[in-house]
Amino acid sequence: MPTTPQPPRTETLRASLSDADDRIRLNHWMAPQQGIAPRIRIGSHWFNTLWALPIGAATLLCLIALTQSLRELPGVEAFIRKHPAIAQSAPSVDSGFPWWLQLQHFLNMFFMLFIIRAGLQILADHPRLYWGRDCTPGTDWFRFQVPVPKGRIWTAKDDSVTLPTWLGIPGLRHTLGLSRWWHFSVNLLWLINGIAFYALLFSTDQWRRLVPMTWEVFPAALSTAIQYASLNFPVDEGWTRYNGLQQLSYFITVFVAAPVSIVTGLMQSPAISNAFGWFGRLFNRQAMRSVHFIAFAWFVAFILAHGAMVFVTGIRQNTNHMFAGVDNASWTGFPLFVAAMAILTVAWLVVSPFTIRHARLVQRAGAFMIGWIMGLAEGWDPRSQLTKKDISPYFWPNGTMPDSKEFDELVADGFASYRLRISGLVEAPRDFSLADLKAMAKQRQITTHFCIQGWSGVAEWGGVRMRDILDLVKPTPEARYAVFYSLADGADGGRYYDVHKIENMRHELTILAYEMNGTPVSVLHGAPLRLRCENELGFKMVKWVAAIEFVADFADLGAGQGGYNEDHEFYGYRMPI
């Protein structure tokens, strides 16, 4: 007589978890995979963006020739006389370049270095951008990866590409766990610097530099552009007033690109997007991600153009202004500028090797910097649901598939012998068959899945509320966390698992799903049971759930970070953003 297989004992599951390295071992990390030169889709045609380089250079040359010829026309010269580079009615600034402005300018540069490089690394983990809510292959408008291969399982992790360590932070492939700590921690510092900058701008006369106060700024900007393009530069009064082109580009950078980046960054988070209801549904994650990227492109273009102008419009005067706060013919500012560049260069060179070597430290420091924000966002009970027509035609699969005889046997008997074991700090430990769970109240929800890598997808999930399970097993007052053990191993060996705060288990939309879009959850998406916890990123929703254990602490599980990807890929165990 065949014996009924027993669900794994908690001790056995605990023993199946593996320890993890505290650094990235290059020979052990995910195998590299090169992307391709970035492409943009216009209609059904993909264009290689590298064409922008020769086309841009040719356009620039033509522009020089054109504007020089234009300036021979009396009308154009009259226009430039009427509108010299600086709007004549623009107010001037009396306070020069105060020390706080110089300091904030330097800090801004320093922070941007980390933010931009780490942001690029995050993008490389799902190197595609979309406008629609779905990430259906072929609907991307930008990619630096080949089209999604057909006829085989291609997970989001398979899709990620390598960045060189001098470019991304920390470079390599699928290192976004670490990039995110840099991106978010430094963002916080950049935000504080930015708020202080706004406050100081408007409590002094410095705002007058940046905020155009007259329509004349537009003809002035055009006049400036013609003068620069014809290589016959306008008079510079930078100490007291900016020209029209400066005013417009600085204004856009400070008052448009920066706030847009912050808002579109935050709107990519499951907790925040869900908390905003219709706003989050309308401004979907993929649209926000695309706008976030366009703001990034603006910043990069601005930095290149602004940096070049510092050199061509008078390095001595410019560095005197911004690095020494003086307006004279001395060389005071230049050495300070060189020192600032040296600091930036050293930071540029060390950040990736440091992160690779001290990955666990970066993870801990990041959690220290922004863990409290994560904790706050985790408290919001997600309620935002979509409608049937929002369901994604394509839902990326992700993760490491189960690969064991036990699992194959469960699949073969249609999960009839499957038992979900609930144990640990509970008054009534219990094994549930799939039939037991299906006999309980069923909840259906149409929600967005937010993968940490950047893709998202909408599906209708059906299953049992974790609240109801809690009512049955009755966690004791000591139980602070729920550990979800998978039937599958993680990518680096050892069992996949993840830890949630018990509060997450009481949220309205936290369910153990056995249905996806009206049919039993497929093996690919986590059969027989997968967690849905809508205020967190996807990796926290364990697929192929084997058992749930309630614990007071998770330091003694695996490498002690609160989950498989937390241990092995340096993610945070609180990840609602």
Ligand X SMILES: Nc1nc2c(c(=O)[nH]1)N[C@H]1C(S)=C(S)[C@@H](COP(=O)(O)O)O[C@H]1N2
Smallest gap, in angstroms, from Cβ of residue 395 to ligand X? 6
Please report, for residues 263, 276, 407, 506, the alpha-carbon distance to residue 457 in angstroms, rounded to integers and kept in the order given. Answer: 21, 18, 27, 24
Contact call for residues 254 and 299 (beta carbons, < 8 A): no
**Choices 282-290, 329-337, 392-400, 472-480 (CB under 6 A): range interacting with ligand X:** 392-400
Pick from 396, 432, 554, 571 the residue near ligand X by CB under 6 A.
Answer: 396
Strand 39-42 vs strand 530-532: parallel, antiparallel, or unpaired? unpaired
**What gap in Å lies between CA 504 and CA 532, rounded to an integer?**
10
Q: Which of residues 486-545 bind ligand X (CB under 6 A)?
A: 486, 488, 496, 525-526, 538-539, 541-544
Contact call for residues 117 and 287 (beta carbons, < 8 A): no
563 binds, among ligand X, Mo ion, none (CB under 5 to 8 A by kind): none
Contact call for residues 491 and 30 (beta carbons, < 8 A): yes
Please report, for residues 78, 272, 284, 462, 554, the alpha-carbon distance to residue 277 in angstroms, rounded to integers and kept in the order given. Answer: 55, 9, 11, 21, 33
396 binds, among ligand X, Mo ion, none (CB under 5 to 8 A by kind): ligand X
544 binds, among Mo ion, ligand X, none (CB under 5 to 8 A by kind): ligand X
Contact call for residues 475 and 563 (beta carbons, < 8 A): no
Residues of this chain that interact with Mo ion (CB under 5 A) are 398, 451-452, 538-539
Using the Cα atoms of residue 56, residue 58, residue 59 and residue 64 in order, give the sign of their dihedral: positive
With 0-12 / 13-18 / 19 or more C-beta atoms within 10 angstroms meaning exposed / middle / buried, residue 179 is buried
Q: Three-class SS of residue 564?
A: helix
Give the amino acid at 217.
V
Smallest gap, in angstroms, from Cβ of residue 123 to ligand X? 16
Using the rule CB under 6 A, is 547 a contact of ligand X? Answer: no
Using the rule CB under 6 A, is 363 a contact of ligand X? Answer: no
The nearer residue to ligand X, 144 or 544, going by C-beta atoms, is 544
**Choices 5-13, 169-177, 389-397, 430-438 (CB under 6 A): range interacting with ligand X:** 389-397
Smallest gap, in angstroms, from Cβ of residue 451 to ligand X? 4
382 binds, among ligand X, Mo ion, none (CB under 5 to 8 A by kind): none
Smallest gap, in angstroms, from Cβ of residue 539 to ligand X? 4
Strand 128-129 vs strand 511-516: parallel, antiparallel, or unpaired? unpaired
The nearer residue to Mo ion, 497 or 550, going by C-beta atoms, is 497
Distance from chain centroid for Cα 355: 18
Token look-up 């013609």 returns 226
**What gap in Å lies between CA 324 and CA 315, rounded to an integer?**
13
Smallest gap, in angstroms, from Cβ of residue 137 to ligand X? 14
First-to-last alpha carbon distance for the chain, in angstroms, is 51
DSSP letter assigned to residue 423: E
Using the rule CB under 6 A, is 399 a contact of ligand X? Answer: yes
**How many residues are there in the chain?**
577
The nearer residue to ligand X, 8 or 333, going by C-beta atoms, is 8
417 binds, among ligand X, Mo ion, none (CB under 5 to 8 A by kind): none
- Interface with ligand X: number of residues (CB under 6 A): 18
Tokens of 528: 């027989």
Smallest gap, in angstroms, from Cβ of residue 569 to ligand X? 9
385 binds, among ligand X, Mo ion, none (CB under 5 to 8 A by kind): none
The nearer residue to ligand X, 223 or 284, going by C-beta atoms, is 284
488 binds, among Mo ion, ligand X, none (CB under 5 to 8 A by kind): ligand X
Pick from 142, 395, 461, 573 the residue near ligand X by CB under 6 A.
Answer: 395
The nearer residue to Mo ion, 514 or 564, going by C-beta atoms, is 564
**What gap in Å lies between CA 404 and CA 303, rounded to an integer?**
52
The nearer residue to ligand X, 197 or 571, going by C-beta atoms, is 571
The nearer residue to Mo ion, 238 or 538, going by C-beta atoms, is 538
Smallest gap, in angstroms, from Cβ of residue 354 to ligand X? 26
Smallest gap, in angstroms, from Cβ of residue 401 to ligand X? 8
Residue with CB nearest ligand X? 399
Give the amino acid at 489.
D
Hey, which residues does 550 pair with through a beta bridge? 424, 482
496 binds, among ligand X, Mo ion, none (CB under 5 to 8 A by kind): ligand X
Smallest gap, in angstroms, from Cβ of residue 265 to ligand X? 19
The nearer residue to ligand X, 157 or 208, going by C-beta atoms, is 157
**What gap in Å lies between CA 33 and CA 145, rounded to an integer?**
10
Smallest gap, in angstroms, from Cβ of residue 557 to Mo ion? 20
DSSP letter assigned to residue 402: P
**What gap in Å lies between CA 464 and CA 472, rounded to an integer?**
12
Q: Which residues, at least 6 apart from 260, have a Cβ–Cβ distance to it below 8 Å?
A: 291, 292, 295
The nearer residue to ligand X, 117 or 173, going by C-beta atoms, is 173
**Choices 70-78, 307-315, 394-402, 505-513 (CB under 6 A): range interacting with ligand X:** 394-402
The nearer residue to ligand X, 208 or 543, going by C-beta atoms, is 543
The nearer residue to ligand X, 296 or 571, going by C-beta atoms, is 571
Using the rule CB under 6 A, is 228 a contact of ligand X? Answer: no
Contact call for residues 373 and 271 (beta carbons, < 8 A): no
Q: Which of residues 421-480 bind ligand X (CB under 6 A)?
A: 451
Contact call for residues 547 and 341 (beta carbons, < 8 A): no
Smallest gap, in angstroms, from Cβ of residue 455 to ligand X? 8
Using the rule CB under 6 A, is 485 a contact of ligand X? Answer: no
**What gap in Å lies between CA 376 and CA 379, rounded to an integer?**
6
H or E element that contains 430: strand 430-433
The nearer residue to ligand X, 194 or 454, going by C-beta atoms, is 454
Residues at the interface with ligand X (CB under 6 A): 395-400, 451, 486, 488, 496, 525-526, 538-539, 541-544
